[in-house]
A and B are shown apart, each in its own frame.
Chain A
Amino acid sequence: MNDDCNDGDDDADDDDDDDDDDDDDNCSLEGNYLNVNMSLSSKQKATVKDFFSKMSTRSDDIGAEALSRLVAVYPQTKSYFSHWKDASPGSAPVRKHGITIMGGVYDAVGKIDDLKGGLLSLSELHAFMLRVDPVNFKLLAHCMLVCMSMIFPEEFTPQVHVAVDKFLAQLALALAEKYR
């Protein structure tokens, strides 16, 4: 038997949660799941807020590490940073920008009930100025999840993972809202 099987506390919560999911479901099937609107249940929003609160002391590290890993594991992403003298993993500009991005993610947690409305100007920035291919949001999200898992292995349970992954996907959708 393993440790996870004795999590009696979560059982009731998960059963209640199934009803919330039915109300929130909004599935428009457009090919890859990045475009499917998998809304967060109220319990998942609470999970996200709670985890990000726990994470706050290390948010800069996670942001800096995540962007470093993005450019290392997916070198094509360096194409967006050709204006930096040094876009290698762990470099000062990469770490600094990772922290900036994480700040934006935290800001989005505060706007979790209306990401599209709350992130309108950021979406315009990404659409008209930065023009980052939205596929990269998914790659960065993966690197963030890896860093969260590394730094908070006990807290980053599968239940937290799915809520945060959904949140980051919704964030990406909101950022891409103005693209076309």
Chain B
Amino acid sequence: MVEWTDSERAIINSIFSNLDYEEISRKSLCRCLIVYPWTQRYFGGFGNLYNAETILCNPLIAAHGTKILHGLDRALKNMDDIKNTYAELSLLHSDKLHVDPDNFRLLADCLTVVIAAKMGPAFTVDTQVAWQKFLSVVVFALGRQYH
């Protein structure tokens, strides 16, 4: 089981309580599709992904980004059992969506960059440590049921 200090819990909760889900999720998913274009393979039915501008203006991508980010709420509410919280979602990504789990790490990295931009100096070293620890636990849990 992952151990969280009070400070880490406070940092993670603070980030989420100040989060503009629509803005951050759209920017993160778009950034992932632009910086790692091979991730576009999972978005064949999402309309125009021709270049960075069309991706950034694509409402289907924006909506999906919000869905993904709200998925992180589950981990936030169950920080002491993220592994089991995501068992079903892990199976979904493996068996139905067929997403290479390395993509979870790529999206997590983009989310970190976007949040760093939003928070600026408030994204301190301790904040980054706690945030990336949280994301790495989520990423691990999402990849865990692959078989």
CB pair A4 B125 closer than 8 Å: no
Residue among A4, A90, A158, A165 with the most chain B CB within 10 A? A158
A89 to B124, CA, bound (A): 11
A68 within 8 A of B: yes
Q: Which of B3-11, B41-49, B71-79, B113-121 lies at the interface with chain A?
A: B113-121
CB pair B56 A158 closer than 8 Å: yes
In the assembled complex, the CB of A4 is this many whole angstroms from the nearest CB of chain B, namely 4
CB pair B120 A150 closer than 8 Å: yes
| A137 / chain B contacts, CB cutoff of 8 Å | none
A4 to B56, CA, bound (A): 6
Q: Which residues 2-21 in A have Cβ within 8 Å of B in the complex? A: 2, 4-5, 7, 10-11, 14-15, 18
A156 within 8 A of B: yes
B129 within 8 A of A: yes
A5 to B56, CA, bound (A): 6
- Given A2-B26, A69-B128, A72-B129: A159 in contact with B123 (beta carbons within 8 A): no
Q: Which of A100-108, A116-124, A141-149 lies at the interface with chain B?
A: A141-149
Count B-side interface residues using an 8 Å CB cutoff: 28
Interface 1/0 per residue, A132-164 and B, CB below 8 Å = 000000000010011101110100101101100
Count A-side interface residues using an 8 Å CB cutoff: 31
A15 to B96, CA, bound (A): 34
In the assembled complex, the CB of B17 is this many whole angstroms from the nearest CB of chain A, namely 20
In the assembled complex, the CB of B117 is this many whole angstroms from the nearest CB of chain A, namely 4
**Known pairs A72-B126, A158-B31 / 19 extra A-B pairs, C-beta < 8 Å:** A2-B26, A2-B56, A4-B30, A7-B56, A11-B51, A14-B51, A15-B51, A72-B125, A90-B125, A142-B109, A146-B113, A146-B128, A149-B113, A149-B116, A149-B117, A150-B120, A151-B120, A153-B117, A158-B56
> B interface vs A, CB < 8 Å?
23, 26, 30-31, 34-35, 51-53, 56-57, 62, 109, 112-114, 116-121, 123, 125-126, 128-129, 132
